[in-house]
């Protein structure tokens, strides 16, 4: 079974600074998808960024980027120019390559605090 590990229960960053959230995963599959989700206090899950394992280029969405290391099974999220609105719980998630396997496996989450 696939597992997702987020080793940082909590992180904090100063406004306008950069922070990196760690995520590692374990899988025997060669093709899969990885995601970072944000869950603010409203508890609505928001997709931040996704990465297809077959793509070597790291995904980027505005201030959010990932460092995807397939051999190391590592998928970290970098938030640049942190804003107060970035404060939330961040979950790393894994999904298999398809067929009937569209299930998401989530890590335990990292609570990010942004200090003004």
Partner 1 sequence: GAVVSQHPSWVICKSGTSVKIECRSLDFQATTMFWYRQFPKQSLMLMATSNEGSKATYEQGVEKDKFLINHASLTLSTLTVTSAHPEDSSFYICSAREIAGADNEQFFGPGTRLTVL
Is residue 42 a contact point for partner 1 (CB under 8 A)? Answer: yes
What residues between 57 and 96 interact with partner 1 by CB under 8 A?
A: 91, 95
Contact between 40 and partner 1 by CB under 8 A: the answer reads no
CA-to-CA dists, residue 109 to 9, 97, 99, 112, angstroms: 6, 23, 27, 9
Encoded tokens for 55? 């793509």
Interface residue with partner 1 among 13, 19, 88, 109 (CB under 8 A) is 109
42 backbone φψ class: left, alpha, beta (φ>0; ψ -120 to 50): alpha
Closest CA to 30 of 73, 59, 74, 68: 73
Exactly one of 2, 20, 24, 52 binds partner 1 (CB under 8 A); that residue is 52
Contacting range for partner 1; rule: CB under 8 A; set: 16-24, 61-69, 78-86, 97-105? 97-105
Question: Closest CB to partner 1 among 19 and 53?
Answer: 53
2 belongs to the binding site for partner 1 (CB under 8 A): no
Residues that bind partner 1 in the complex, under the rule CB under 8 A? 33, 42-47, 50, 52, 91, 95, 98, 102-109, 111
């Amino acid at each position: 079974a696939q597992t997702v590990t987020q080793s940082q229960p909590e992180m904090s960053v100063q406004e306008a600074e950069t922070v990196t959230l760690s995520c590692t995963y374990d899988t025997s599959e060669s093709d899969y998808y990885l995601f970072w989700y944000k869950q603010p206090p409203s508890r609505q899950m928001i997709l931040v960024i996704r990465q297809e394992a077959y793509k070597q280029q790291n995904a980027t969405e505005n201030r959010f980027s990932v460092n995807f290391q397939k051999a190391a099974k590592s998928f970290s999220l970098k938030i640049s120019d942190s804003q107060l609105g970035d404060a939330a719980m961040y979950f790393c998630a894994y999904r298999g390559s398809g067929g009937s396997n569209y299930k998401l496996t989530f890590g335990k989450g990292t609570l990010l605090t942004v200090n003004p």
